[in-house]
Amino acid sequence: MELKDLTPAAGSRKQRTRVGRGHAAGKGKTAGRGLNGQKSRSGGGKRPGFEGGQTPLYMRLPKLPGFRNINRVEYVPVNVSRLEAKFEAGSVIDNAALVAAGIIKHEDALVKVLGDGEITKALTVKVDKVSASAAKKIEAAGGKVELPC
């Protein structure tokens, strides 16, 4: 058997119906569009959302206020008090450690450490962002902040 010998299964392929090609073709004259009217014309029919002249739903609803920036980058906030409660002194805190501790759900989430609460343990923090107050508290406790390059 060669590639040239392959054919579709019998009945699996069907010729498209050529409409408007005379009575003998079975779809002549009106070409399956019925009789007269808007929908029988070329380019006829109503646009999506048209409600017969009634004010459409998309115009009846109010515009939403404000502006949504499609380029906004969302960070998962984590306070230093959570790090104090969940980690031992000398721990390295990265996304994998935060997922293991149950603080964040996904390892690929962007994390920002915030300075709410107190910290007494020396921790090495390797996350996407750290606020100035959090960095000051972590370094005052003997820890280290390593941000990505």
Domains and CATH numbers, the chain: 76-146 (3.100.10.10)
CB 146 within 8 A of CB 125: yes
**Residue 145 and residue 33: Cα distance in Å, rounded?**
72
Give residue 93's pLDDT: 95
Sheet with 124-125: list strands edge to edge: 92-93, 124-125, 144-145
Give residue 76's pLDDT: 97
Q: What is the mean pLDDT of each run of 10 residues along the chain (149 residues)?
A: 95 94 93 93 93 94 89 96 94 95 95 95 95 96 86
**Residue 108 and residue 96: Cα distance in Å, rounded?**
9
Give residue 149's pLDDT: 42
Measuring CA to CA, how many Å separate 63 from each of 12, 58, 67, 72, 86? 50, 9, 11, 21, 45
- Model's pTM, two decimal places? 0.57
